[in-house]
Chains A and B, each alone.
Chain A
C-alpha cells in the first residue's frame, strides 16, 4: 500500500492509501465513483480511459489510466470529463461536440474530449498555420478509437472550435 495524494479537477483529495497495483482507472471508477472516465480495453489501445495531466509549468498531456498505476499519479493534478464544465457552463469544445453530433454511443467521448482539450491548449500556446490544422488534429486524435462515428464529426468539431477563434489558435 502506498499513500496517494492527487488533485482531481482542481480539488486536492485527502491523501489515501492504495494498493501499488491498483490502476488509475480503478481508482477513479471504484474508489472515487467517477465513472465518466471509461474502461475500454485495459491495454492502452483505445484511450477511452485517457485523462489530462496538468504540469506545474502550465502545459498538459493526456495519459491512459487503464494500464497505469494509481500511485504513479501521486502529486499530480488531473482533469477528467466531469471537470470541463464550470458551474454548469460547457466549454466551447463540449458545445461543439454536442452541436456537431460528434459522438453516437458516447463511450469514447471522454477520451476524445480530453485529447482535444489538450490540443486546444497547446495551440493556444503554440499556434499552427491554417494549412497544418487538419493534419495537426488528425495526429492528435489518432490514438483514440471510436467504433460508431467514423471520426469525421469529432474532427469537424475540433476544427470549428479552432476556426471560431483563429487569433488564439492559428499562426
Chain B
C-alpha cells in the first residue's frame, strides 16, 4: 500500500538511452586533485588525525565544489562558451495563462530560443510518473500551481541573459486572462493507521497495520477530503475494519468520562523553505554530432536524476532523443531534502536539448528558488488524547492530519505517512487512530524536508503532552517517563524498534540539567524587571531510513598503506566523506588518503542488475529475482542527511571489513609467524588498531604499511566493492573464501587481490529483508530531548532564548564534531521554524516570484544562545553499536520545547506556527 519513494523502473531499458554517471572533481585550477576530496598526504590535512573535515581545505580556499560553480570552460572536452537560460514560472494559478509579452526583451536582450509546452508536445517528452504533471503550462489553461513553469528562455550570451533577467524581474510579462479559480485535482494520498493493543504488553495486538496491512479510504466523489467513516459508500472491507476500530477509539475519548482527562486540540504549521544557500543550478550540453547529452548536476539522488531525464527524452524523435547521457555530479548535492527528486534537473536537460551544440546553464536566483523550490508541508492537525487520571497513563490517542502538498506531485503521500506514523512520539499508547491526507493545492510544491512530517506532528504532540501534564499537575518529565515506550514495546504500527530505545536516559538527563532544576528560581529572579521567564521541555524519537535504502562502497588499500574510498551517497554538508573515512578507519587502522562521494561509476565489477519496485514487490517476485546472483532490490538510493552515517557508510565499512579479514589479517598472521594450526588464527575479532598499528595481546604491534605491503606481496585481498540493501534490516549473504564461508550484511561483493583487477564473488546464499517489512512502521529510530529557557520582554514581546540544552543518542558517532554541528544547526533551524519562518499560502506567497530573504526571516546568530547552547551525546551502548541517523531528530524537539517555554513564561499556549513577536505581545497584553 505504501506509495513508492522510487517509482521508477529501469527507464534505461525503456528509453533505449545509454546512461553513465560520474562524480565531477573540483576544477583543476583550484589545485585540488580531480578525483580526491582529500588534499592528500602532501598537504595540510587535519582530517588525517581526526581533526577537521576531509573537505575542509577545499571549502576555505574557494575550490569549485558546487553545481553553480561550473561553467563550460571548466569542463574538459566541452566548448568554452556558456549560454544561459531562464525558467519562467507562472505567478498566478487562478486565471487562464495567455502567454508571455516579451516586447521588453529587444535588441541585446532577446532570447535565442524560447521553449514552451507546445515545443514539448511536438517532441513527445514524457514526465516521470513521480511528478504527474505538465512540465510547462500550455497557453489557454490555468496553471496547476503557482510557480508552474511556462517557458524556458535561452540566451547565447551572458550579457543578453543578464539584461533579460533584470527586465523580467517583476513577472508582469506573464499574461493571464479569464478567472477560473484554482485547478481541482485529487489528493496525493490518504491513509488510516489504527492500532488496538492486546490486554497485556506480551499478548498480540487486536488490530495493527503490520498485521492487517495499510489501509486507505475509498475515493469519494465531490468531496475535498476523504470520508473516513466506516459506513461510507465505496468502503472496502480492510479499510472498514480499521475504521470500526478507529471509531471505537474515538468514542472512548469521551470528555464526559470522569476517569479520563481528555484533551481535544487543533494545531497548524506553516509552509517554509529549506533555504539551502546555493540556489539550484545545472549545466547541460547536447552535441548533435555524437548524440550525447552531457550534464553537470548537484542533487541528492544521482541515479534518480539521470533515470528521470532518460525517461523524459526516451520517446522523443531524433534529434531530440540523445543516444547517451553522461551526468557528472558535483561534490555538494544536499539541501535539507529540497534536492531530493527535484524537477529542476528536467529543465536543465531540456535547455540543453533545445539549444544543441551550446552548453547551457540554468540557475535559479533566490526569487526563483522561493518561487519554484520544494517546500515543507504545512499541516492542519486535530489531536485527541485520553489519560487515566488515577495512573497518569495515556489510554488512547486519535488525530486527523491534512497536509497541503502544493501543485506538483512529489513526496506528499510519503510525508503524510511518516508524519502520521510518528504521531505518538516516544509514548506507549495502547489505542491509536490517525488519519492523514495530503491534498493538492495551487501552492508551491511541497516535498521532502528535514523532519519529513514528524516535525509537524511531533510539535503538536509535545505541546499537547505538556498541556496534559499541566492539567494533571504532573511534572512534565515524570509524565513522559511514565508513558515512554520501552525497548521491545510496540509502536503504533504494531512492530517494535530493532535498535536501542534510550528514552529513560534522555529524560533523566533532562531532569537533572540545571536549566530544568533552576527553572523556578530563574522565573522569579527576572520577573520584577519586566521579563517573563519560561522553561520548556520536549522529547522525541525520529526514524531514519526509508525502508528501501541501498548502499555502495569501494575501498582499496595500496602497497604503501594508502587507503582510498568511493561511496555513492552525496555530501549534504553532513560530512559524509569524513564519516566514510572514519568508519573505514575502524577496520583498516588509518584515515583514508582519498575519499570520493557521490561516486556512481566505480562499481561495475559487481555487475548489479535490478527490477521491480522494492517498496511494492511481493515476496514471490523477490524470491524469483534473487536467484540471479547479480540481482538486488535497488542499486542506489537518494541521500538524506539522517541516513548518511547509517546507510551511506555501510557498504564501504563492509568492504573494509573484508579487506581486513582476508587481506590484512592473514598478512598479520604471517608477520607474527602464527601457523595455520594455531587457534589464534581465529582471533581476528580480538585484534585492535591503535595509532596505526594492529595489535594482539602478547605480540609486537604491526604498522599498517607493513601489513599492506605483505597483503600485496602475498596476493591477498587488497580491495573490495560491496553493495547492500535495507528494508528495515540489511541484506545478508554468504560468500566463499577458500575453505570458509564469509557472512556479512551485504548482498554483492567483488574483491581485488594484490595488484590485480576486481572480480565479482557469487553469493552462496542471500537473505534479502522480507517484502512484508513494507507494511512495518519504522524500526530504526533515535531519540533527542531539548530544554529551552526563554526570556520575554513584557512590554514589547521580544523573545530571547537565554539557554538551551539538547541531549541525543546516535549509536557510534562517526565524527562527533559533525554530530555536534548538526545538532547546533538543527537547533537554529528549529528556532527559525518556531519563531521566524513563514511563507503565506497561494497569492501572497512565494509562488508570486517576489520573495527573498528580505521578507523571509531565518535565524541569525543574534537569535541564538551561541554561548549557552549545550549539546550532549549519550555514549554508544557498546563500542560496536552501529551509527544511527541523527540529523533530523535533533531539530524536532527544539520547536515544541520553545512553545512549552513560552507557555511557562506567558500562560498562553500557542497552537500555530510561527509564534511571532507581535503574537507574543498580544498574548501578554
Within 8 A of B (CB), among A46-70: 46, 48
Whether a CB of chain B sits under 8 angstroms from the CB of A88 is yes
Q: Decide yes or no: A35 and B277 within 8 Å by CB, A90-B57, A98-B53, A145-B860 being known contacts.
A: no
Contact present for A106 and B332 (CB under 8 Å): yes
Interface string of B61-81 (1 = CB under 8 A from A): 111111011110110000000
Separation in Å of the A131 CB from the closest CB of chain B? 13
Residues of B contacting A97 in the complex (Cβ-Cβ under 8 angstroms): 56, 59-60
Inter-chain contact B826/A101, CB cutoff 8 Å = no
Any chain A CB within 8 A of the CB of B237? no
Whether B866 contacts A152 by the Cβ 8 Å rule is yes
The interface residues of chain A lying within 8 Å CB-to-CB of B366 are 40-43
At the interface, yes or no: A118 with Cβ under 8 Å from chain B?
A: no
Q: Say whether B276 contacts A147, CB under 8 Å.
A: yes
**Which residues of A (115-151) have their CB < 8 Å from a CB of B?**
134, 138, 141-151
In the bound complex, CA of A34 to CA of B74 (Å): 11
Whether A74 sits at the interface, judged by CB under 8 Å, is: no
Interface-forming stretch among B257-265, B413-421, B481-489, B851-859? B851-859
Min CB distance, A91 to chain B, in Å? 9
Is B818 among interface residues, defined by CB-CB distance under 8 A?
yes
> Are B869 and A152 in touch, CB under 8 angstroms?
yes
A110 surroundings in chain B (CB, below 8 A): 62
Let me know if B824 and A152 touch, CB within 8 A: yes
Residues of B within 8 A of A134 (CB): 866-867
Q: Is A85 an interface residue (CB 8 A)?
A: yes
Given the known A-B contacts A107-B278, A147-B275, are A155 and B866 also in contact in the complex, defined by CB atoms under 8 Å? yes
Q: What residues of A have a CB within 8 angstroms of the CB of B162 in the complex?
A: 19, 21-22, 26
Stretch of B114-122, B387-395, B567-575 that contacts chain A: B567-575
CA of A36 to CA of B864 in the docked complex: distance in angstroms? 28
The reply to whether B62 and A101 form a contact with Cβ atoms under 8 Å apart is: no
Q: Chain A residues with Cβ under 8 A from B277's Cβ?
A: 38, 40, 46, 48, 105, 107-108, 145-147
Query: Does any Cβ of A come within 8 Å of B425's Cβ?
Result: no
Q: Which of B64, B74, B572, B828 contacts A105 (CB 8 A)?
A: B572
A147 touches B62 (CB 8 A): no
In the complex the two chains form, is B822's CB within 8 Å of A99's CB?
A: no
Asked if A33 lies at the interface with its beta carbon under 8 angstroms from chain B, I say: yes
A169 at the interface (CB under 8 A from B): no
Q: How far is the CB of A1 from chain B (nearest CB, A)?
A: 10
Q: Are A104 and B825 in contact (CB under 8 A)?
A: yes
Minimal Cβ-Cβ distance residue in A for B335: A105
CB distance from A14 to the nearest CB of B (A): 19
Q: Does B51 lie at the interface of the complex (its beta carbon under 8 Å from any beta carbon of A)?
A: yes
A107, B822: Cα distance in complex, Å: 16
Closest B residue to A101 by CB, please name it: B817
- In chain A, what residue has the closest Cβ to B366? A41
* Interface flag for B829 (CB, 8 Å): yes
Question: Given the complex of chains A and B, what is the CA–CA distance between A109 and B574 in angstroms?
Answer: 15
Write out the residue numbers on chain B whose beta carbons fall within 8 Å of the beta carbon of A138: 861-862, 866
Set of chain B residues within 8 Å of A42, measured between Cβ atoms = 365-367, 852
Kindly identify which residue among A101, A141, A145 contacts B52, using a CB–CB cutoff of 8 Å: A101
Which one of B63, B166, B571, B867 contacts A21 once the chains associate, using CB atoms below 8 Å? B166
Give bound CA distance, A80 to B852, whole Å: 25
CB of A168 within 8 A of chain B? no
- In the complex, chain A residues whose CB is within 8 Å of the CB of B66: 35, 38, 107
- Say whether, besides A43-B852, A145-B853, A101 and B821 are in contact (CB < 8 Å): yes
Contact of A151 among B70, B336, B828 (CB under 8 A): B828
Interface centre among B60, B65, B163, B858 (most CB of A within 10 A): B60
**Chain A residues numbered 1-48 whose CB sits less than 8 Å from any CB in chain B:** 19, 21-22, 26, 30, 33-43, 45-46, 48
> Which chain B residue has the least Cβ–Cβ distance from A21?
B166
In the complex, which residue of chain B has the Cβ closest to the Cβ of A155? B866
Interface string of B186-202 (1 = CB under 8 A from A): 00000000000000000
Contacting residues, chain B, for A143 (C-beta < 8 A) = 860
B44 interface residue per 8 A CB criterion: yes
Q: Which residue of B lies closest to A152 (CB)?
A: B824
Q: Are A84 and B60 in contact (CB under 8 A)?
A: yes
Q: Known contacts A105-B334, A150-B825; is A34 also within 8 Å of B573 by CB?
A: no
CB of B821 within 8 A of CB of A81, answer no
Check A104–B575 contact: CB distance below 8 A. Answer: yes
Residue of B46, B61, B367, B825 touching A81 (CB-CB under 8 A)? B61
State which of A26, A41, A90, A155 has its C-beta within 8 Å of the C-beta of B853: A41
Task: Find chain B residues with CB under 8 A from A101 CB.
Answer: 52-53, 56, 575, 815, 817-818, 820-821
A76, CB-defined interface residue at 8 Å: no
- B742-780 near A? 1/0 per residue, CB < 8 Å: 000000000000000000000000000000000000000
Question: Is residue B158 contacting chain A, with contact meaning CB distance below 8 A?
Answer: yes
Interface 1/0s, chain B 463-497, versus A by CB < 8 A? 00000000000000000000000000000000000
On chain A, the residues within 8 Å of B158 by CB distance are 26, 30
* A81 and B62 contact, Cβ closer than 8 Å, known pairs A40-B366, A98-B46: yes
- Which residue among A48, A80, A99, A147 has the maximum number of chain B CB atoms within 10 Å of its CB? A147
Known contacts A40-B277, A48-B277, A104-B573; decide if A150 and B159 are in contact (CB<8 Å). no
B853–A45 CB distance below 8 A: yes
Interchain CB contact under 8 A, B821 and A106:
no
Which of A36, A99, A144, A146 touches B62 (beta carbons < 8 Å)?
A: A36
A147-B858 contact, Cβ under 8 Å, with A35-B69, A38-B278, A85-B61: yes
Asked whether B827 is an interface residue with its Cβ less than 8 Å from the other chain, the reply is: yes
Most chain A beta-carbon neighbours within 10 Å: one of B59, B65, B815: B59
Q: Is the CB of B59 within 8 A of A106?
A: yes
The answer to whether B279 has its CB under 8 Å from any CB of chain A is yes
Taking the nearest CB of chain B, how far is it from the CB of A6, in angstroms? 17
A113 at interface by CB-CB < 8 Å = yes
What's the Cα separation between A82 and B59 when bound, in Å? 10
CB distance from A38 to the nearest CB of B (A): 7
Q: Does B307 contact A (CB under 8 A)?
A: no
Cβ of B60 and Cβ of A98 under 8 Å apart? yes
Knowing A33-B73, A105-B277, A155-B861, say if A80 contacts B62 (CB, 8 Å): yes
The distance in angstroms between the C-alpha atoms of A146 and B334, with both chains bound, is: 14
Q: Are A33 and B71 in contact (CB under 8 A)?
A: yes
Contact of B861 among A36, A38, A141 (CB under 8 A): A141
Knowing A26-B162, A43-B366, A142-B860 are in contact, say whether A35-B869 is a contact too (CB < 8 A).
no
- Bound complex: CA of A39 vs CA of B364, how far in Å? 10
Q: Are A19 and B159 in contact (CB under 8 A)?
A: yes
Give B214-270 interface residues, CB cut-off 8 Å to A: none
> Which residue of B has the minimal Cβ distance to A30?
B158
Bound CA–CA A19/B161 (angstroms) = 13
Contacts of A104 in B (CB 8 A): 573-575, 818, 821-822, 825
Assembled-state Cα–Cα distance A95/B45 (Å): 10
Question: Is the CB–CB distance between B854 and A45 below 8 Å?
Answer: yes
Q: How far is the CB of A17 from chain B (nearest CB, A)?
A: 11
B679 at the interface (CB under 8 A from A): no
Chain A residue nearest to B47 in the complex (CB): A98
Interface presence of B55 (CB below 8 A): yes
Interface centre among B53, B74, B166, B276, by most A CB within 10 Å? B53
Task: Compute how far the CA of A46 lies from the CA of B852 in the bound complex, rounded to whole angstroms.
Answer: 10
From 6 to 32 in chain B, residues with beta carbon under 8 angstroms from any chain A beta carbon are 29, 31
Q: Which single residue of chain B is at the shortest CB-CB distance from A151?
A: B861
Interface residues of B (CB under 8 A from A): 29, 31, 43-44, 46, 51-53, 55-66, 68-71, 73-74, 158-159, 162-163, 166, 274-279, 332, 334, 336, 365-367, 571-575, 815, 817-818, 820-829, 852-854, 858-862, 864, 866-867, 869
A-B contact pairs, 19 of them (CB 8 A): A19-B162, A21-B162, A35-B62, A35-B64, A37-B62, A38-B66, A39-B365, A41-B853, A45-B853, A46-B277, A101-B575, A103-B59, A104-B574, A138-B861, A142-B860, A149-B824, A150-B826, A151-B860, A153-B817
Q: Which 7 A-B pairs have the closest CB atoms?
A: A36-B62, A105-B573, A150-B824, A104-B573, A98-B56, A45-B853, A106-B59
Known pairs A148-B821, A150-B828, A151-B860 / 4 extra A-B pairs, C-beta < 8 Å: A35-B62, A45-B854, A101-B56, A151-B866
